[in-house]
A and B are shown apart, each in its own frame.
Chain A
């Protein structure tokens, strides 16, 4: 089903995050906006790990603050040094 959706999106030339299970990550200078987040898996001052539909994203840095957490969108502020996606 997931593959079907993915191939349909590719055929229609639409971004994949429009599907329900998709996720979208934007990183600015000191801010990251993650759409499609399910939950917070780990949170401390130096690391925030977020559960996505079929992956996990870890933001590693200093003074990390969750600026907002609503409607499956998370905005993280702070000095982001690394991003890990598994």
Chain B
């Protein structure tokens, strides 16, 4: 029934009211003249019925012969809507323009979606893909997906694999990041294992070479822990690449001092320029200044249904920087010193086991100092080439 009603709406229909005369004769005459009637309903002294547009044009003969007075009560359907919109020619041109735009833009690249990346940002992958030949607004059938994938992958070392596929107006870039190759231990050359700093030796394991230091003994920076000479059973000596594991108890002091007069950099905005981006067309609004020190760029995309469309506004902000000396209070200097000290301590503690530490503050009118002492266990073994002097 819905299909029939839809077809009637497309072809247009008329509802009319008939009164007086002989309604039965009117219905029979309509049947004879092939005028379709439906939904004929009797309401006391009049009846209502529906017919097609062509049927209504012919209905006057039947009405005259049967003595029924016909009055149109409703006209509905596409032909009546179009007839009503006839004087508005702009709508027709708008509809044609819309269809042309849709046909023209539907085979262009609108959206690029990137997936599979964990550490490499989307922007870098997108820039690499653009450098490799992908352009917003480019025809999708002109994209060589295989070549583009290879070129994109080549441009970023961290990518192990990239696949590009085109679906409608969307280009999907699926990437897999490369696993870093394990470091291969260098076994060539003749090396000693020496102490990298002053320490008390706690652990010393010799894998290759001859042990030169004793456990719990004190060693100075540069002392040989394991030498690259190995004694053979036939009382000869051969030179090897010494390797081993040496852990020492070290004492390290870290100090951070901040003066109350510090050098700061002030950034002053001199100009802000907007740029309208439509696909790969960039329309600048304004001119960039000739002299500036720093430029910050921010882009805002037009989004639809969670997807960025290739219509965006870029804001470029140009700054000049000015170096100047600033006087701060001792308390502020202390805070800055503390912050620097925390950063230094965090960097220092990586790969070490701290067994004891102490922090002290010292301040005067001109500066604030934070100093700390760390006692820790750390790997002190480092390789140093074995120097050989040939006897003449």
Hey, which bits of chain A sit against chain B, CB under 8 A?
A: 39-45, 63-70
Which residues of B (20-54) have their CB < 8 Å from a CB of A? 23-24, 27-28, 30-31, 36-44, 47, 49
Q: Please, how many angstroms separate the alpha-carbon atoms of A64 and B43 in the complex?
A: 10
* A66-B27, A69-B27 given; A43·B38 CB < 8 A: no
Nearest CB in chain B: distance from A37 CB, A: 9
Closest chain B residue, CB of each to CB of A66: B40
A42 touches B42 (CB 8 A): no
A43 touches B27 (CB 8 A): yes
Question: Which of A40, A42, A65, A68 touches B41 (beta carbons < 8 Å)?
Answer: A65
B39 touches A45 (CB 8 A): no
Nearest CB in chain A: distance from B143 CB, A: 56
Task: Enumerate chain A residues within 8 angstroms of B38, measured Cβ to Cβ.
Answer: 66-69
A70 touches B31 (CB 8 A): yes
Closest chain A residue, CB of each to CB of B31: A69
Question: Which of B31, B36, B37, B44 touches A45 (beta carbons < 8 Å)?
Answer: B44
Nearest CB in chain A: distance from B357 CB, A: 92
Hey, which bits of chain B sit against chain A, CB under 8 A?
A: 23-24, 27-28, 30-31, 36-44, 47, 49
Task: Enumerate chain A residues within 8 angstroms of B43, measured Cβ to Cβ.
Answer: 45
Q: Kindly list the 8 A-B residue pairs having the minimum CB-CB distance in the complex, ordered from nearest.
A: A66-B40, A39-B28, A65-B41, A45-B42, A40-B24, A40-B27, A68-B38, A43-B24
Task: Enumerate chain B residues within 8 angstroms of A64, measured Cβ to Cβ.
Answer: 42
A65 touches B31 (CB 8 A): no
Task: Enumerate chain B residues within 8 angstroms of A68, measured Cβ to Cβ.
Answer: 37-38
B31 touches A44 (CB 8 A): no
Nearest CB in chain B: distance from A29 CB, A: 16
* Known A42-B24, A64-B42, A65-B42; 5 more pairs at CB < 8 Å: A66-B37, A66-B38, A67-B40, A69-B27, A69-B36
A65 touches B39 (CB 8 A): yes
Task: Enumerate chain B residues within 8 angstroms of A65, measured Cβ to Cβ.
Answer: 39-42
Nearest CB in chain B: distance from A53 CB, A: 15
Q: Please, how many angstroms separate the alpha-carbon atoms of A42 and B47 in the complex?
A: 13
Q: Please, how many angstroms separate the alpha-carbon atoms of A64 and B47 in the complex?
A: 11
Q: Please, how many angstroms separate the alpha-carbon atoms of A39 and B40 in the complex?
A: 14
Nearest CB in chain B: distance from A74 CB, A: 9
* A66-B37, A69-B37 given; A43·B42 CB < 8 A: yes
Task: Enumerate chain B residues within 8 angstroms of A69, measured Cβ to Cβ.
Answer: 27, 30-31, 36-38, 40
Closest chain B residue, CB of each to CB of A76: B40
Closest chain A residue, CB of each to CB of B43: A45
Residue from B39, B42, B43, B49 with most neighbouring chain A CB atoms (10 Å): B42
A41 touches B24 (CB 8 A): yes
Question: Which of A43, A44, A70 touches B36 (beta carbons < 8 Å)?
Answer: A70
Nearest CB in chain B: distance from A42 CB, A: 6
Nearest CB in chain A: distance from B67 CB, A: 15
Q: Please, how many angstroms separate the alpha-carbon atoms of A17 and B276 in the complex?
A: 76
